Amino acid sequence: MAMNINGASRCTMREAAGIIQKLIPKAEIHLGDGCWHLDRQGPWDTSESERQLGYTPSHTLESGV
C-alpha cells in the first residue's frame, strides 16, 4: 500500500520558489518551462496515512524550510 505524506496545503513550483527565495535571499533558483501538469495537481488525499499512522501535517512549507 502507498500513502501520500505531505502538508495540509499545496502550492505551485513558482510559489514554492518564492517562499524559499524569501527565506534564503541568496538562493539561486531557476525555473524552466518544466512539466506544467505537475504544477496543476489537486490536493493529495492523506486520509489513509492519518487513519493508519495518526499522521497530520504540523508544518507549512515556509515553517519547514
Grid cell digits, residue 6: 505531505
pLDDT, position 41:
63
Degrees to nearest 5, angle at CA 29 with 25 and 34: 155
Amino acid (1-letter code) at residue 1:
M
More confident site: 29 or 42: 29
pLDDT band at 50; cut points 50, 70, 90: confident
pTM: predicted TM-score of the whole model, two decimal places: 0.66
Distance CA 54, CA 32 (A): 37
Over the stretch 17-40, which tens digit does the pLDDT of each residue have? 999 999 999 999 998 877 766 666
